[in-house]
């Protein structure tokens, strides 16, 4: 044994072996969960049915990250901050407490800190403003949950915001969700991309729920078979086209730019407290029965002053017949304050017959009398807003809380106030020399009398049997 070899062995003996992380995922995750979080790929998706345990698995993965790489924080992204808190926050707290991981929670900011450093962050990403908050930090592990509920900005969020920030720590990203009612969108595209690693499992693989028994109960209660599209999506995690599940019936046929010459406008306003304020401008003209979504604004966490400034600006630009606002609950005080500050009268929206109004708007969408650009938030949200079939019974309809749209109600308020339906088709000018209607009728009646007389003569002479 030479001198260099002896020195090497001596140095190796003095090295303290790396401590195993105090969080052993092998003992708390079942097979499919474990395979997903232990996938070494940088990019991976998981398409699962409901109650499959995907959120619990990904929460464990996020907590483990900073224990292995203390300087590499984890990031959990849901569509809204509120949905992230509901889905993930309590699970993280329970795991932290049960396994004594040493994280200190800050519920105000939804951050788990360890050794005084932010280690696990929960954020919403339903607006451009929220997305911008993610920039500026290098991430070790990033999970986007309920990805099927994200509009088209999911692509920008992944490709432009998150992916470049994985370089600092050789990070990983996991995209998780349940199939949506319409198999389109960036999550659907990623779930079959050859550049991503893919995983799929359902509640039938989750040993902590009795999925089979619940399925049989659901099939009997709803009177459907396993082939029903919603059953395929929720229980079996399969992409199944199910337009009947959607509340609003927008389609590509409704994707049309508003014409240059619009003469009349209304504005619909949906006020947000936890959600965003949304404003929709609808326009039409006297030459057509069509109605168009001209402009939309969706703003989070703005003050009454800022909201009033937006409405004042749009009032000056469009000179609408009316500005209709949701004045229910806290909205009544906000609307009153806006009126005092701006001098603009806000009409209260009719919310009592909401589902009737939805059907009227759907009729306009089906008959191609209402149009909204494909890149509008309203059009994107229409492909995500679903009926809650478990809570809806007969005439009692309930919209699922899986996805919340701010702009849809604003459009609905504006649609009910618009007067495009007053359009009447102008009479076509008669060609020169053509008699008017009364004269034309008289001519036809005379021709009928002459024909009857002629037929009677033929019958009298024996030519008609």
CATH number at residue 374: 3.30.420.240
> Of the candidates 275, 283, 258, 249, which has an alpha carbon nearest to the alpha carbon of residue 379?
249
Domain match, 161 and 260 both: no
- The DSSP code for 240 is -
- Above 50 in pLDDT, residue 42? yes
Mean pLDDT over each residue of the chain, to the nearest integer: 88
- What is the torsion angle, in degrees rounded to the nearest 10, for the CA atoms of residue 107, residue 109, residue 115 and residue 119? 110
Go through 154-186 and write b for each residue having 16 or more CB atoms within 10 A of its CB, e for each that does not.
beebbeebbeebbeebebbbbbbbbbbbbbebb
265 assigned to some structural domain: yes
Q: How many domains does the chain have?
A: 2
Domain match, 161 and 273 both: no
Please tell me the predicted confidence (pLDDT) of residue 44: 98
Neighbours of 334 (CB within 10 A): 22
Separation CA 46–CA 37 (nearest Å): 10
71: number of CA atoms within 13 Å, CB side?
3
More confident residue, 327 or 367: 367
Length of the chain: 465
pLDDT per residue over 74-92, tens digit each? 999 999 888 999 999 999 9
12 assigned to some structural domain: no
Domain match, 127 and 166 both: yes
For residue 151, give the CATH number of its domain. 3.40.50.300
Domain match, 224 and 368 both: no
- The DSSP code for 425 is P
Q: What is the mean pLDDT of residues 47-59?
A: 94
pLDDT per residue over 271-303, tens digit each? 986 678 999 999 999 889 999 999 999 998 889
More confident residue, 8 or 252: 252
Is the separation of the CB atoms in 146 and 177 below 8 Å? yes
Is the separation of the CB atoms in 270 and 410 below 8 Å? yes
Domain match, 27 and 156 both: yes
444 assigned to some structural domain: no
Domain match, 235 and 142 both: yes
pLDDT per residue over 388-401, tens digit each? 988 888 778 899 98
Residue 123 phi/psi, 5-degree rounding, is -140, 160
Q: What is the mean pLDDT of residues 212-228?
A: 94
Which residues lie closer than 8 Å to 298 by C-beta, 6 or more apart? 127, 276, 277, 278, 279, 377, 406, 407
Domain match, 233 and 257 both: no
Domain match, 212 and 326 both: no
More confident residue, 57 or 446: 57
Separation CA 260–CA 294 (nearest Å): 10
Of 402, 422, 442, at which residue does a domain stop?
A: 422
Most confident of 2-11, 408-417, 440-449: 408-417
Categorize the per-residue pLDDT at 443 as very low, low, confident or very high, splitting at 50, 70 and 90: low
Separation CA 149–CA 151 (nearest Å): 7
Q: What is the mean pLDDT of residues 134-142?
A: 93
| Domain ranges, residue 153 | 23-243
Separation CA 171–CA 255 (nearest Å): 39
Question: Which pTM does this prediction carry?
Answer: 0.78
Separation CA 399–CA 332 (nearest Å): 23
- The DSSP code for 170 is T
Q: What is the mean pLDDT of residues 240-261?
A: 94
Name the 3-class secondary structure at 284. Answer: strand
Is the separation of the CB atoms in 99 and 23 below 8 Å? yes
């Amino acid at each position: 044994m030479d001198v260099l070899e002896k020195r090497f062995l001596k140095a190796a003996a003095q090295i303290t072996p790396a401590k195993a992380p105090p969080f052993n995922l092998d003992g708390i995750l079942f097979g499919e969960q474990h395979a997903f979080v232990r996938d070494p790929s940088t990019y991976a998706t998981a398409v699962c049915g409901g109650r499959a345990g995907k959120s619990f698995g990904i929460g464990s993965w996020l907590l483990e990250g900073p224990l292995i790489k203390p300087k590499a924080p984890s990031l959990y992204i849901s569509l809204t901050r509120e949905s992230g808190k509901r889905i993930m926050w309590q699970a993280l707290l329970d795991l932290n407490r049960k396994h004594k991981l040493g994280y200190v929670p800050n519920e105000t900011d939804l951050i788990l800190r360890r050794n005084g450093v932010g280690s696990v962050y929960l954020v919403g990403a339903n607006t451009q403003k929220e997305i911008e908050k993610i920039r500026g930090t290098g991430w070790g592990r990033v999970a986007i949950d309920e990805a099927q509920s994200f509009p088209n900005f999911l692509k920008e969020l992944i490709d432009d915001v998150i992916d470049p920030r994985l370089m600092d720590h050789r990070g990983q990203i996991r995209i998780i969700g349940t199939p949506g009612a319409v198999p389109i969108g960036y999550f659907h595209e990623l779930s079959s991309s050859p550049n991503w690693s893919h995983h799929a499992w359902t509640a039938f693989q989750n040993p902590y729920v009795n999925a089979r028994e619940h399925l049989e109960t659901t099939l009997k209660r709803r009177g459907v078979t396993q082939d029903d599209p919603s059953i395929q999506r929720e229980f079996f995690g399969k992409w199944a086209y199910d337009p009947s599940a959607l509340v609003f019936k927008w389609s590509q046929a409704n994707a049309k730019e508003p014409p240059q010459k619009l003469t009349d406008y209304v504005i619909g306003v949906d006020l947000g407290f936890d959600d965003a304020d949304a404003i929709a401008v609808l326009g039409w003209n006297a030459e057509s029965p069509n109605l168009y979504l001209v402009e939309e604004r969706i703003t989070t966490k703005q003050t009454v002053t800022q909201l009033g400034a937006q409405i004042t600006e749009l009032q000056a630009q469009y000179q609408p017949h009316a500005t209709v606002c949701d004045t229910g609950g806290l909205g009544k005080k906000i609307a009153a304050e806006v009126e005092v500050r701006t001098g603009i009268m806000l009409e209260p929206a009719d919310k009592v017959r909401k589902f009737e109004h939805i059907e009227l708007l759907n009729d306009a969408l089906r008959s191609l009398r209402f149009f909204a650009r494909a890149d509008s938030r309203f059009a994107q949200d229409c492909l995500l807003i679903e009926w809650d079939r478990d809570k809806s019974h007969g005439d009692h309809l309930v919209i699922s809380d899986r996805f919340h749209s701010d702009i849809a109600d604003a459009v609905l308020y504006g649609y009910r106030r618009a007067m495009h339906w007053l359009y009447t088709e102008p009479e076509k000018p008669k060609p020169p020399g053509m008699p008017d209607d009364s004269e034309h009728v008289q001519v036809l009646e005379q021709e009928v009398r002459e024909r009857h007389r002629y037929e009677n003569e033929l019958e009298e002479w024996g030519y008609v049997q």
